[in-house]
Structure 1
């Protein structure tokens, strides 16, 4: 049976973490920037341990008001300190349970900015370089940060199962009502095309090449549990098992 790696952003205050966890390969845990605190981190790590799911840090711009989904005017020094603080907090709590971080995945606008802007990408990489540990970096294929990380971090290319893309492989803005895929059949077609053919149909219907080692499903989508259960079923029908890297 073939394998596919599926990750999910958890510990963000959504109601479905416990229901999603059994179907995941990895979870990216909010660590205080856009959401999350020590209590939610401990709770999410416990769920990950119980379900044998990989644990990663999900640092963000320190902007809980906007859930980290807006670019933030912040000094390089302050942003670097925030990223380090967030990842180290999660690393410390995970270590108390005997769990090592497998990866780091920036959240929201920090993720998008680092994918396009060399200054932000380098700042993120510098922040992570100051943290001890053997963890990989989740990043979009063809992104600035994935290029700059070469030789410094193991890069795991990530694509989104429930987000539409533009023809230049950027995520469609959430301001667009078609940014997020909600129908489970559409999500399956989306992810299966990327996984099996390395192709994705952009929002303008253009087919483009994409490389992905892991696929993200957002936990705050209202029907995320239904979508993930459907994905698990349809993938198994195609002789594909959700598993770890």
Structure 2
């Protein structure tokens, strides 16, 4: 029986601002990547998010991003490796405090947004992230794109890299995600997203936006919690994978 993790980027509310229906989405995923206060989230949101994940039995992961609330962490920043190391370590420590208070073990780390995209191809950025993880807790898993620089640096430091694919994003011919500024970057139809996921899980391939077939490995599937169809996508994906005989479990 095939097995796969379904993760969601959550905990991205801030103060009175609400971006997602986290509790509803948590009913359909097996791990959650929680914002750590620099690109989104705040201490109150972090405490609530860890509690919600614990109540649902969902594995908790840190989702560190650039220090960029204004741009939601989706703009690149010219940070050095040592700066990336420090920002990632800082954010893991913050979330781990709430995990400790709730009696929850931190399970994984997945960089957010522009930091994730940079670490996929930039050795120094990837090394900064992975050094922070290794120094903090080398048992933490690293969610990373298949055969990316982030995955390579994780493995070089003895960390466990879990290959991540995306349900609701399109791919370019070089294997990178289609940039968000492109009008066709996001898959908005839950059924189309599920078809893409089933191909990746069952056949290890995905069709690029421009038509090429790409090889992938799917240890964990990401869906974004801030989209208008997020809850419906999570529900539909859970149903379609279960119907296909795929076991859902944390990576």
TM-score (norm 1): 0.96
Q: How does 1:148-187 map to 2 (within 5 A)?
A: 148-151=153-156, 152-187=158-193
Post-superposition CA distance 1:161-215 (Å, at most 9, x none)? 1100011110000011110001011001100000000010000111111112000
Q: Which runs of 5+ in 1 are unaligned?
A: none
Residue 49 of structure 2 is matched in structure 1 by 44
Q: Residue 81 of structure 2 contacts residue 124 of structure 2 at CA under 8 Å; is this kept in 1?
A: no
TM-superposed CA distance for 1:75, in Å, is: 4.1
Indicate the SS of the match to 2:27. Answer: helix
- Structure-2 separation of matches of 1:75 and 1:215: 29
- Structure-1 separation of matches of 2:219 and 2:80: 33
- Structure-2 separation of matches of 1:124 and 1:70: 17
- Structure-2 separation of matches of 1:75 and 1:149: 18
Post-superposition CA distance 1:76-122 (Å, at most 9, x none)? 44332221111100011101111111100000011110110111111
Post-superposition CA distance 1:37-74 (Å, at most 9, x none)? 11111111111111100000000111111111111123
- Structure-2 separation of matches of 1:114 and 1:149: 11
- Structure-2 separation of matches of 1:74 and 1:150: 23
TM-superposed CA distance for 1:15, in Å, is: 2.7
- Structure-2 separation of matches of 1:204 and 1:211: 20
TM-score (norm 2): 0.94
- Structure-1 separation of matches of 2:242 and 2:75: 37
TM-superposed CA distance for 1:129, in Å, is: 2.3
- Structure-2 separation of matches of 1:53 and 1:125: 23
Indicate the SS of the match to 1:102. Answer: strand
Q: Residue 23 of structure 1 contacts residue 242 of structure 1 at CA under 8 Å; is this kept in 2?
A: no
Residue 64 of structure 1 is matched in structure 2 by 69
Range with bigger deviation, 125-134 or 227-236? 125-134
Residue 190 of structure 1 is matched in structure 2 by 196
Residue 10 of structure 1 is matched in structure 2 by 10
TM-superposed CA distance for 1:126, in Å, is: 1.8
TM-superposed CA distance for 1:234, in Å, is: 1.8
Whether 1:135 and 2:127 are equivalent positions in the alignment is no
Q: How many pairs align?
A: 245
Residue 237 of structure 1 is matched in structure 2 by 243
TM-superposed CA distance for 1:130, in Å, is: 2.2
